[in-house]
Structure 1
Amino acid sequence: MRNLFFFFILFSCSVFAQRGNKDSNRIGIEGGVTQLNVFTDNLTVTSEVGWMAGLGVRGNYYNNWQMGFGMFFTDSNFSIPTLNGLQQTQTNFKMSAVQIYLVPSYTAIEDHLNIEFGPVLQINGKLGIDKDDENNLLLDQPGLIAKDIVDVSKINANFYVGINGGIKNIRARIGYQYGLTNFFGNLKENENVISSGLNMKGNIGLISGLITIYL
């Protein structure tokens, strides 16, 4: 994780130093909110609010096309219905991840509006849940408890599309990511999932709203 961050800083400084004479080649600090959903037939998922922050670089590429590169840290959340004893409750799951994106960007209005799309590499750990909720029974899958589904796939590929609009030094970015890989693919190794005969499949959907301040 630390090596990725240092690589990003070096890459950003290199781009800025080489092309910093143009207003549209800038390093930006970004932060904002997220809503994470998981599209699956195995569970009833409710999207919840989280956060995302990081650094991004965008630079001229060709004519009205630019290229964006960035690295973001996110804690994004979703919840599913469970039973804690005899009480029905929503159990919250937190996805802590690093996302690295390299996306083309079309300049619709110079210095004011860009349309972006492209791949995102996501590296995440196990889902986080409160210790008191680990043994909650999943309503949709009574043979499983909450901690049975935390060991999700660690490396995921997403596709991003969004718009980036505002003034030269401050932009608002609204985007959507769809997971191309099976977020629950790693659960095939869980003994309880195996014994229940489930084929767990899910694709993440992540909405983000960020503010970018360009240096």
Structure 2
Amino acid sequence: MRKLTFIILLISTVAMAQRGFKDSNRIGIGAGVTQLNIYTDNFTVTPEMGWIGGFSVRGNYYNNWQMSFGMFFTDSNFSIPTLKGLQQTQTSFKMSAVQIYIVPSYVAIEDHLNLEFGPVLQVNGKLGIDKDDENNLLLDQPGLIAKDIVDVSKINANFYVGINGGIKNVRARIGYQYGLTNFFGNLKNNDNVKLLGEKMKGNIGLISGQITIYL
């Protein structure tokens, strides 16, 4: 994955640089916060705050259009109501992921405002939970405990829309991602989920806000 990412970044940088000195080619480093929701009928999900950070390359493509390539790392969180012993509580789940995107953007105001949209490839591991919460009973699915739903789909496709605004070298980037794939698709392999006879389906909804510094 690291070698592939480096090759894509190198090609993107070289290709954008060929358009000349007048183009607004930029390498950006950004970081910010996220709020993760999962749209599903299987659980009552409460969005929680997380973080996101990484780098991007942005350059002119054609007329008022630019292309942007980026790789970001995120720890984003949500919670589900559970029963721990005799006490009802919210159990938090962490999604650690790498996101790679190549998206076009429309230059609404030169050097100040871009409108962005396009696909995002997300690679993530299992959901993370505190060890003490692994055996919490899921209130929405009494036949399952928290650790039964951590083995989610590892590769997901999202669609991103957002704005990138500010001054030439410092931008605020606000965006929304919707998951096109079934985030809970991999749960069909869990024996306890099979016993329920219920299809697990969920789609990611991720809001992010970042500050990007362009070098």
Residue pairs, 1:32-51, within 5 angstroms: 32-51=32-51
The answer (yes or no) to whether the contact 1:74–1:98 under 8 Å persists in 2 is: yes
Amino acid paired to 2:137 = L
1:78-101 CA-partner distances (Å, limit 9, x unpaired):
000001100111101000000011
Report the secondary structure of 1:199's partner residue: coil
Residue pairs, 1:78-97, within 5 angstroms: 78-97=78-97
Q: CA 1:12 to 1:104, structure 2 compared with 1: closer, same or farther past 3 Å?
A: closer
2:136 aligns with 136
Q: Distance in 2 between matches of 1:32 and 1:4?
A: 25
Q: Which moved more, 1:86-95 or 1:10-19?
A: 10-19
Runs of 4 or more, structure 1, over 3 Å off, are 15-20
1:149 aligns with 149
2:109 aligns with 109
Q: CA 1:62 to 1:19, structure 2 compared with 1: closer, same or farther past 3 Å?
A: closer
Amino acid paired to 2:90 = Q
Q: 1:3 Cα deviation (Å)?
A: 2.4
Q: Distance in 1 between matches of 2:77 and 2:8?
A: 26
- Superposition RMSD in Å: 1.3
2:170 aligns with 170
The answer (yes or no) to whether the contact 1:34–1:52 under 8 Å persists in 2 is: yes
1:194 aligns with 194
Amino-acid identity (%): 82
Amino acid paired to 1:156 = N
Q: 1:20 Cα deviation (Å)?
A: 6.5
Structure 1, gaps ≥5 residues long:
none
Structure 2, gaps ≥5 residues long:
none
What TM-score, normalized to structure 2? Answer: 0.96
2:55 aligns with 55
The answer (yes or no) to whether the contact 1:16–1:27 under 8 Å persists in 2 is: no
Aligned length: 215
What TM-score, normalized to structure 1? Answer: 0.96
The answer (yes or no) to whether the contact 1:16–1:26 under 8 Å persists in 2 is: no
The answer (yes or no) to whether the contact 2:23–2:59 under 8 Å persists in 1 is: no
Q: 1:4 Cα deviation (Å)?
A: 3.9
Q: Distance in 1 between matches of 2:79 and 2:22?
A: 45
Q: Distance in 1 between matches of 2:33 and 2:58?
A: 21
Q: Distance in 2 between matches of 1:169 and 1:47?
A: 32
Q: Distance in 1 between matches of 2:91 and 2:18?
A: 49
1:80-123 CA-partner distances (Å, limit 9, x unpaired):
00011001111010000000111110010000001000000000
Q: Distance in 2 between matches of 1:160 and 1:195?
A: 36
The answer (yes or no) to whether the contact 1:12–1:27 under 8 Å persists in 2 is: no
